[in-house]
Structure 1
Amino acid sequence: MTCLHKKLTLMLCAALGSALAAASLPQTGPYPEANPPTPEKIALGRALFFDPLLSEDGKVACATCHRPDRAFTDGGAVSTGAFGRTGKRSAPSLINVAYRTRLFWHGGSPSLELQALGPLSDHNEHALQPEQIVEILRASRYAPEFKRIFGREPDLTALTQAIASFERTLVSYDSPFDRYQSGDAHALTASQVRGMDLFYDRAECFHCHNGNNFSDNLPHNNASELFNEDIGVAQLSGQDADVGKFITPTLRNIALTAPYMHAGQMKTLREVVQHYNGGGQANPNTDPLVRPLGLTDQEVTDLVAFLEALTDPTIATNKAFGPPEIP
């Protein structure tokens, strides 16, 4: 570990102690009975989320790929992990992640606790073996906090429970669309209102992007070419019919999370809308909901404007979503 990262670890641990002293339970999404949130557990998870301690090169934290200023994505087509290694998929947003029931692009994890283990042990991400993770934690300044909060030495269960507890506080429903839905008739522009009408009517985006988080949490093939030889849900199911299917991403805060699609194939929202407007690309597993829309250039503009209205601009400046403050 470099001197810089050692210093960061020490600063985060010091901030952790101050945070715990004045902590109060923030808003959280739903949580399992086995992991009820506490202010102390959330503060520990927050410190760990932003600390690069748990990576092979000491340079990769959860926040490396999930940055608050980008709605907890990283702005890359695919994410970069330890020693500059890259994976095949774009980092998904963590805002309102507590409400999602299928995590990862292939939907392979049903819980945040289980999901946290994937990046930590992935060769292209944090690149640590489970025993290494435990060894690092037990030798770290976090060890006393684990013992105080969980009543035992650091282990993988306590680690993932702490990180998941922090991630469940990443809740945001304060976009212009939300304010419009609450009765503020001036929250959306005329173009955004027209785009909303298209979204819920002729463009029929709502079939896959529905509910409060604009996702049905189901796998679909959106008529994109295979990219990076990534076969999507078929990676788990082994079924030919699942090749090219990925879990529908949320549209919340979409203006902050470019580039788009599972491997960042599309740079702008307009490019995404044009993809669907043209009916996508030839693909044997294309979802029957994907069809040419026949939107005019102005209608494409209006639909993009509505999608932008699903973004809460305060996410990037919300101190509770950022690293612990240094005393």
Structure 2
Amino acid sequence: MIFNKGNVLFLFLFILIGTMCTVKEQYTLVLGKIPFPKDNPDSPEKRAFGKLLFFDKRLSKNNEVSCASCHQPSKAFTDGLPKSRGVRGSIAMRNAPSLLNSAYFSSYMYDGEVKTLEQQVLVPIQDHREMGSSMKEVLQKLSKDSNYKRLAKQIFQRELDAYVVTRALSTYERSLISQNSRFDQYRAGAKSILNADEIAGWKLFSEKLYCTKCHSGANFTNYQVVSNGLYSDYGIDQGRYRINGLEKEKGAFKVPSLRNVSLTAPYMHDGSIQTLREVISHYSKGGSRFPNKSSIIKPFKLNNLEINQLELFLKTLVDTSTVN
């Protein structure tokens, strides 16, 4: 080939486009294929049906609250409140976690006791502090909707029942994927997408501090249920202790994913910490003195620059492109 200016430009564009495609392919698969259960395979129709249900306030006792009331797309599927508001102004027991990437979770709820999304969607419907209803009441209302009855028959080949509602909702929730953050792109090869302070923050997070011992892997969580020493006395909410009554599980809550963390304030299981800077401060002090506190959590010192860098890195984990 004779390399004139036109050929060189074409070759440059060909390489550039090829590189971009390779990077995109890598970071869009960072979390792996969405693990849909064999008995609840994915389909566009089922996802769309689940989305209708997700935004439908008839799932609550008095038609005031939908799933989306506590899991708002604009807030990375949280609600920005310390504890969510349910029917009749009631206050939920805990802070609403993000649903993004919940398809990959190994357990659900802060206790880590619920094992599937199909089971998880039942919890807020039946909780008197949240939607305050029952599946029987929900089905009585939804069965009057001719469109829902048609969709149940069309998609599931059965009448509208609890199986249909839980499978459609969980399928929609599994479609809420966030894996194309600036940090994902950086890890995939787009090194210039982060600035020097953001990269320094990543090095603090992954090398100097112990953050990755709990917030590890592609989803920035090890999915374990442990105590982070938030309190020396946890009061009414003793964490996983309420499930099994084991002393060693007092104050233990599931480690959350840090993806989109800058959008999901306030933090902790009870929404008691308002800012990322305050979260960093909590861990830098080594947490509160508590018998079950994880041995990983120890005091550390950061100067103001390092605190800023760590916070800037955490903000690179945002990606709401799929849900938007």
Q: Same fold (TM over 0.5)?
A: yes
| C-alpha distance in structure 2 between counterparts of 1:152 and 1:83, whole Å | 34
Q: What residue in structure 1 maps to residue 150 of structure 2? A: 144
| C-alpha distance in structure 2 between counterparts of 1:116 and 1:228, whole Å | 27
- Structure 1 letter corresponding to 2:64: K
Asked if 1:256 is matched to 2:260, the reply is no
* Identity of matched residues, %: 39
Asked if 1:209 is matched to 2:203, the reply is no
**Contact persistence 1:202–1:293 (CA under 8 A):** no
Asked if 1:304 is matched to 2:320, the reply is no
Asked if 1:78 is matched to 2:83, the reply is yes
Give the stretch that moved more between structures: 205-214 or 299-308.
299-308
- Equivalent residue in structure 2 for 1:33, among 12, 29, 38: 38
The equivalences for 1:238-277 within 5 A come to 238-277=245-284
| C-alpha distance in structure 1 between counterparts of 2:304 and 2:289, whole Å | 23
Which stretches of structure 1, 4 residues or more, deviate above 3 A after TM superposition? 313-316
**Contact persistence 1:28–1:169 (CA under 8 A):** no
- Equivalent residue in structure 1 for 2:123, among 118, 121, 136: 118
| C-alpha distance in structure 1 between counterparts of 2:94 and 2:36, whole Å | 27
Q: TM-score, normalised by structure 2?
A: 0.87
**Contact persistence 1:65–1:73 (CA under 8 A):** yes
- Equivalent residue in structure 1 for 2:239, among 232, 239, 244: 232
Deviation of 1:136 after TM superposition, in Å, equals 1.5
The equivalences for 1:72-111 within 5 A come to 72-111=77-116
Q: TM-score, normalised by structure 1?
A: 0.86
| C-alpha distance in structure 1 between counterparts of 2:154 and 2:141, whole Å | 18
**Contact persistence 2:229–2:289 (CA under 8 A):** yes
User: Per-residue displacement from partner, 1:25-49 (whole Å, max 9, x unpaired)?
Assistant: xx97211100001111111001110
Deviation of 1:140 after TM superposition, in Å, equals 2.1
Asked if 1:170 is matched to 2:188, the reply is no
Deviation of 1:202 after TM superposition, in Å, equals 1.6
Give the stretch that moved more between structures: 223-232 or 114-123.
223-232
The 1:116/1:304 distance shift into structure 2, 3 A limit, reads same
User: Per-residue displacement from partner, 1:182-220 (whole Å, max 9, x unpaired)?
Assistant: 111221121111111011112110000001100000011
Tell me the secondary structure at the aligned position of residue 201 of structure 1: helix
5+ residue gaps, structure 1: 1-26, 319-327
Q: What residue in structure 2 maps to residue 66 of structure 1? A: 71
Deviation of 1:174 after TM superposition, in Å, equals 1.1
Q: What residue in structure 1 maps to residue 5 of structure 2? A: none
The 1:109/1:214 distance shift into structure 2, 3 A limit, reads same
Deviation of 1:315 after TM superposition, in Å, equals 5.5
Deviation of 1:130 after TM superposition, in Å, equals 2.4
| C-alpha distance in structure 1 between counterparts of 2:237 and 2:80, whole Å | 20
Deviation of 1:314 after TM superposition, in Å, equals 3.2
Deviation of 1:281 after TM superposition, in Å, equals 1.1
- Equivalent residue in structure 1 for 2:163, among 157, 160, 167: 157
Deviation of 1:146 after TM superposition, in Å, equals 1.0
What root-mean-square deviation, in Å, do the aligned CA atoms of Structure 1 and Structure 2 show?
1.4
| C-alpha distance in structure 2 between counterparts of 1:183 and 1:101, whole Å | 29
| C-alpha distance in structure 2 between counterparts of 1:282 and 1:197, whole Å | 28
Q: What residue in structure 2 maps to residue 190 of structure 1? A: 196
| C-alpha distance in structure 2 between counterparts of 1:278 and 1:44, whole Å | 47
**Contact persistence 1:221–1:244 (CA under 8 A):** yes
- Structure 1 letter corresponding to 2:270: A
Count of aligned pairs: 291
- Structure 2 letter corresponding to 1:291: K
Tell me the secondary structure at the aligned position of residue 107 of structure 1: coil
Tell me the secondary structure at the aligned position of residue 53 of structure 1: helix
**Structure with larger Rg:** 2
| C-alpha distance in structure 2 between counterparts of 1:290 and 1:160, whole Å | 38
5+ residue gaps, structure 2: 1-31
- Structure 2 letter corresponding to 1:127: G
- Structure 2 letter corresponding to 1:310: L
**Contact persistence 2:93–2:129 (CA under 8 A):** no
